[in-house]
Amino acid sequence: MTDFAATRAIFYIPEGLVYLDGNSLGPMPLAAAERVSRAVAQEWGEMLITGWNRAGWMAMPRRLGDRIGRLIGAEPGSVVLGDTLSIKLYQALASSLEMSPDRRVILSDTGNFPTDLYMAEGLMKTLGRGHELRLVAPEAVERHIAEDVAVLMLTEVDYRTGRLHDMARLTARAHAAGALVIWDLAHSAGALPVDVAGAGADFAVGCTYKFLNAGPGAPAFIYVAPRHAERARPALQGWLGHAAPFAFEPGYRPATGTERMRVGTPPVLQMAALEAALDIWEGVDMAALRARSIALSELFIAEVEARCPDLALASPRAPEARGSQVSFRFAEGYAAMQALIARGVIGDFRAPDIVRFGITPLYIGEDEIRRAAAILHHVMENRLWDDPALRARAAVT
Amino acid sequence: MTDFAATRAIFYIPEGLVYLDGNSLGPMPLAAAERVSRAVAQEWGEMLITGWNRAGWMAMPRRLGDRIGRLIGAEPGSVVLGDTLSIKLYQALASSLEMSPDRRVILSDTGNFPTDLYMAEGLMKTLGRGHELRLVAPEAVERHIAEDVAVLMLTEVDYRTGRLHDMARLTARAHAAGALVIWDLAHSAGALPVDVAGAGADFAVGCTYKFLNAGPGAPAFIYVAPRHAERARPALQGWLGHAAPFAFEPGYRPATGTERMRVGTPPVLQMAALEAALDIWEGVDMAALRARSIALSELFIAEVEARCPDLALASPRAPEARGSQVSFRFAEGYAAMQALIARGVIGDFRAPDIVRFGITPLYIGEDEIRRAAAILHHVMENRLWDDPALRARAAVT
């Protein structure tokens, strides 16, 4: 059983803040500061170039990839770190399309995060072979899985509403139609139990700065199902994905397995923060985390719905159909969120009208949930959002 | 005039070490440790998600890009940070090929760093339109520039020998033949004066962990000539290269200028180290740096050639034809370098037989050069490389 009072003490949360934006950027694990300082001073400073061997930097993308793999149900050796989610998605998609040369449709949904769609669009233009990105409503995905679909590309948890796709069911349906499946786990890894191997996913990608708490700009990861690993061609074939990078051969030979998806020099300082952040997960039972996330989410929905009639639940009402966030719709949501932030409750806003709250049991409990709901009620009841200065603030994140 | 005694004090170099590998990984600027700690504790820790605005994280790729731009003669706004050199090269090459739809040849040389060639090979396979990567000897590049060349893709300074291409001349020749030019500045930025705008380069890419001293895994940069910036299509079109990333539109619209080459979330901790490293360059006169680099290189060559007859100079003899490194050929170079490292002189080895020494005047002076030559002499005279244990050591970097 996970002790959530203990995990909370592992994070630094500024005094008085209710932080409900861990689905965008997780807070700092206290050990991360020390671990990064060590990577800078003791590793880079003292070891210099020899750190690639002596401090194990070169092996980190695989070693930390395996630790993430355990959180998403991946086979050992099937996950590697690096780059950003956009880049890893591109590799997964390019590999998938190459493995399905006779099909031309990429099926996705309108709830997918835009960068996934933009990267797909860019790849299709580069390919110039008449691929189509077919976007349907999230609830219509299953019935649009057809024999012309090369790859089903979905984000498991919708970044706006928190709606959760049924990974196992959709993967099975896609496979039955002869399509491959790529899962974007940006809002899943560290948020809820994931079982990519059990679901039979072909590829998965994710980031580590949200629920995994690895810090701003932390590296992404990619999962390649072992059955594909020896034939997946990384479109972005960099030297660290070569079978023998330090032989400096003129021609490319892919490394064994998922390591071929490595591209260039990995971000050592960011990986150090990630390493500290992953230590926290060693003691976390994902089923217990999920149960706690649902309990806190239900409490938040009940509190808000009881007090704030102008906020309409945008997330699915059934807990099993949600990820680890709760969203509401409100036309003046942007200004309302600004008013909330000014009062020490941090969530965020997604156009056109969504206010989002991340539910992260590792460092959020009933007290924070009740406090957030009370302050939200105060903002709504007093129409504190009705302030031109708040509306005028530039939205950046 | 740059005071090289003063710049040396800005770096941390372990006691007793002669570090001649700054062309692979620069040493730690003392301010980098403090700056990274601040990014972790005061920015990530205290500001959390609001750091994207309040700490200026989101604007760093452009702001730091401009600071690098000043070191390579780029126009303001024409350089942006992000990803790795491999990724940035892919974007430059994909854009170039798209701008030259009627030509099929990528001309490069056998001295180019392998990842550039691997990425090109990967792109050609993805395109599937019969492109050819034509590799010629470095000295034969000029005469192979022909009317079928779409893009000339070169690394200015050869990573093994240090041979320096004539950027202005080759760029002019390529343009006369109707070809575009991409310059890889991995061993140029911070190593010698570069003038991408003056030379008329179309694209340039580089890394920041070598002569710019930004730490292991520091981000890369890309330069797009302003004349191309509005029509270059980034093959890797991620959300942060979108004209309005936070509008979360379903379709991609490129940002203005080089910022469209941004892809995903930038590595904030690595950028913090880079920011501290770039402060050092504010006071450095690149002509003075170059003069000092040449003086130190000439001294090293003279000392080694006078004492170590078994080492054959692999770098060009004429200083104006070299970058900021000196290389020698020796059949047992790998073991010799291991013996040298064991005695506190760090250079590196590149297969099959090259021992490399980076010349970095910001923190290396005559004393280190003489000491390195004396220890190298000791290793060679006593055949200390003739040791099976040294030969057996795994080569990783």
> What are A30-65's pLDDT values in tens digits?
999 999 999 999 999 999 999 999 999 999 999 999
Per the model's pLDDT, the better-predicted residue between A390 and A187 turns out to be A187
Per-residue pLDDT of A327-385, as tens digits, reads 999 999 999 999 999 999 999 999 899 999 999 999 999 999 999 999 999 999 999 99
Identify the domain containing residue A80 by its residue range.
56-281
**Average pLDDT estimate for B191-210:** 98
Instruction: Please answer yes or no on whether A14 and B238 come within 8 Å at the CB atom.
Output: no
The pLDDT confidence band at residue A394, using thresholds 50, 70 and 90, is: low
The pLDDT confidence band at residue A261, using thresholds 50, 70 and 90, is: very high
The verdict on A305 and A167 lying in the same domain is no
Q: In 3D, which of A195, A158, A114 has the Cα closest to residue B252?
A: A114
Please state, for a pLDDT cut of 90, what percent of chain A lies above it: 94
| Active-site residue (options: A19, A159, A203, A209) | A209
> CA separation (Å) from B269 to A215, A229, A356, B86?
8, 31, 26, 20
Does position B1 have pLDDT exceeding 80, yes or no?
Answer: no
Please state, for a pLDDT cut of 90, what percent of chain B lies above it: 94
Distance, CA of A52 to CA of A67 (rounded, Å): 20
A196 found inside a domain = yes
Smallest Cβ distance to B86: which of A53, A233, A264?
Answer: A264
B363 found inside a domain = yes
CATH of the domain at A9: 3.90.1150.10
Q: Are B277 and B208 in contact (CB under 8 A)?
A: yes
The verdict on A213 and A337 lying in the same domain is no
Which residue in chain B is spatially nearest to A121 when comparing CA positions? B252
Which residue in chain A is spatially nearest to B38 when comparing CA positions? A33
Is B125 one of the catalytic residues?
no
Does position A186 have pLDDT exceeding 60, yes or no?
Answer: yes
Can you list the positions of beta strands (E) in chain B?
Answer: 11-12, 18-19, 28-29, 79-81, 105-109, 132-136, 149-155, 180-184, 203-207, 220-224, 312-313, 325-329, 345-346, 348-350, 354-358
A144 found inside a domain = yes
Does position B370 have pLDDT exceeding 70, yes or no?
Answer: yes
Per-residue pLDDT of B195-204, as tens digits, reads 999 999 999 9
Is B184 one of the catalytic residues?
yes
Cβ-based contacts of B247 with chain A (< 8 Å): 351
Which residue in chain A is spatially nearest to B348 when comparing CA positions? A49
Cα of A364 to nearest chain B Cα, Å: 15
| Active-site residue (options: B209, B223, B330, B334) | B209
ipTM entry? 0.97
Is A356 one of the catalytic residues?
yes
Cα of A120 to nearest chain B Cα, Å: 9
Per-residue pLDDT of B120-153, as tens digits, reads 999 999 999 999 999 999 999 999 999 999 999 9
Smallest Cβ distance to A348: which of B37, B49, B267?
Answer: B49
Q: How many CA atoms lie within 13 A of B7 on its CB side?
A: 25
B41 found inside a domain = no
The reported pLDDT for the residue numbered B283 is 86
Residue type, B100: S
**Average pLDDT estimate for B278-284:** 94
A34 found inside a domain = no
Does position A393 have pLDDT exceeding 90, yes or no?
Answer: no
Interface probe, candidates B40, B52, B95, B248, chain A, greatest A C-beta count within 10 A: B40
The verdict on B324 and B222 lying in the same domain is no
The verdict on B201 and B340 lying in the same domain is no
Smallest Cβ distance to B119: which of A14, A219, A236?
Answer: A236
Smallest Cβ distance to B33: which of A32, A37, A83?
Answer: A37
| Active-site residue (options: B163, B356, B357, B363) | B356
The verdict on A209 and A254 lying in the same domain is yes
The reported pLDDT for the residue numbered A395 is 52
Q: Which of A281, A316, A333 is the last residue of a domain?
A: A281
Cβ-based contacts of B53 with chain A (< 8 Å): 394, 396-397
Cα of A311 to nearest chain B Cα, Å: 22
Per the model's pLDDT, the better-predicted residue between A392 and A323 turns out to be A323
Cα of A363 to nearest chain B Cα, Å: 14
The reported pLDDT for the residue numbered B301 is 98
Tokens at residue B45, please?
Answer: 């820790």
A42 found inside a domain = no
What's the mean pLDDT when you consider all of chain B? Answer: 96
Is A118 one of the catalytic residues?
no
The set of residues, in sequence order, having a beta carbon less than 8 Å from that of A256 and lying 6+ positions away, is: A229, A230, A243
Q: In 3D, which of A192, A246, A219 has the Cα closest to residue A358?
A: A192
The reported pLDDT for the residue numbered B389 is 87
Q: Which of B260, B281, B302 is the last residue of a domain?
A: B281
Cα of B95 to nearest chain A Cα, Å: 10
The pLDDT confidence band at residue A1, using thresholds 50, 70 and 90, is: low
The verdict on A124 and A271 lying in the same domain is yes
The reported pLDDT for the residue numbered B100 is 97
Query: Based on the structure, what is the number of domains in chain B?
Result: 2
The verdict on A109 and A200 lying in the same domain is yes
Instruction: Please answer yes or no on whether B270 and A217 come within 8 Å at the CB atom.
Output: yes
Cβ-based contacts of B113 with chain A (< 8 Å): 239
Q: How many CB pairs under 8 A join A and B?
A: 293
The reported pLDDT for the residue numbered B394 is 56
Does position A225 have pLDDT exceeding 90, yes or no?
Answer: yes
Task: Give me the helix-helix angle, B30-38 and A30-38, nearest 10°.
Answer: 170
The verdict on A276 and A295 lying in the same domain is no
Does position A396 have pLDDT exceeding 70, yes or no?
Answer: no
Is B88 one of the catalytic residues?
no
Smallest Cβ distance to B217: which of A118, A248, A266?
Answer: A266
Cβ-based contacts of A242 with chain B (< 8 Å): 114, 118
The reported pLDDT for the residue numbered A286 is 96
Residue type, A331: A
The verdict on A111 and A242 lying in the same domain is yes
The verdict on A131 and A8 lying in the same domain is no
A35 found inside a domain = no
The reported pLDDT for the residue numbered B305 is 98
Which residue in chain A is spatially nearest to B88 when comparing CA positions? A264
The pLDDT confidence band at residue B397, using thresholds 50, 70 and 90, is: very low
Does position B396 have pLDDT exceeding 70, yes or no?
Answer: no
The verdict on B200 and B290 lying in the same domain is no
Instruction: Please answer yes or no on whether A269 and B33 come within 8 Å at the CB atom.
Output: no
The verdict on B293 and B274 lying in the same domain is no
The reported pLDDT for the residue numbered A239 is 97
Cβ-based contacts of B273 with chain A (< 8 Å): 40, 269
Q: Which of B217, B249, B281 is the last residue of a domain?
A: B281
Interface probe, candidates A46, A81, A115, chain B, greatest B C-beta count within 10 A: A115
